[in-house]
Amino acid sequence: MRVLIAEDDDKLASIVAATLATAGFVAERESDGEVAHFRGESEDFDAVLLDLGLPSLDGLTILRRWRKAGRKTPILILTARGQWEERVEGIEAGADDYLVKPFHMEELVARLRAVIRRSNGFAETPIRFGEYVLDTRLMQLTRDGVPVDLTPQEYKALVYLANHRGQVVSQLELTEHIYKQDFERNSNSIEVLIGRLRRRLGADIIKTRRGFGYYIEETA
């Protein structure tokens, strides 16, 4: 899952980015409002953590512009401003949730996972498909209660596919959402990754729609 952190407090942004990386997310940072707005409008993120007090362009203006442009990316507002009026204003502008600083990192990760699940039409946690249960809180996959060992990249790919059950995900989309931008990508990386997952889970869990991509059936 690819997340944009739009936050000008470098220390906080570093801590959030490290926390999200540990939780299995691909986190990218921007401290300038204009740049964050451009990236959120031109790139595909699974969610955005948006500070209201960004320089160049404030968070509420960014949020309104994204929503006016039709961007439906889940937005979790981060703000030091605790007044209820500003929280309401953020929700009215199209935010999916908010956190008032200071906050616990565990709550941030939990809320982030929740807004991503809801944006994809799924409310349940853990995620269930076939005989498998994917607990994103524990970052663990089990089959009939028995843990299944996954590498970090296998886990990220499976989480993305599981959160988009019933949708075909292209190789390019999967690549962009599980690898950092500076990762040296091989054209066969995703095929190899999916091949490993199929050997671990069974060939019928992750299906291929030839010429389009991969998917997990919503009712599997």
| pLDDT for position 137 | 85
Q: How do the domains of the chain map onto residue ranges?
A: 2-119, 127-215
Question: Residue type at 141?
Answer: L
| pLDDT for position 188 | 83
| pLDDT for position 121 | 80
| pLDDT for position 220 | 45
Q: Is the pLDDT of residue 71 over 60?
A: yes
Q: What is the pLDDT of residues 157-185, one digit of tens each?
A: 999 999 999 999 999 999 988 887 655 55
| Residues 180/152, Cβ–Cβ less than 8 Å | no
Concatenating the DSSP letter of every residue in 119-177 gives HTT---SSEEETTEEEETTTTEEEETTEEE---HHHHHHHHHHHHTTTS-B-HHHHHHH
Residue 104 to residue 110: CA distance in whole angstroms: 10
Cα atoms found within 13 Å of the Cα of residue 6, Cβ hemisphere only: 32
Q: In CATH terms, is domain 127-215 a member of 1.10.10.10?
A: yes
CATH architecture for segment(s) 2-119: 3-Layer(aba) Sandwich (3.40)
Q: For 13-27, 49-63, 100-114, 174-188, which range has the lowest pLDDT when averaged over its residues?
A: 174-188
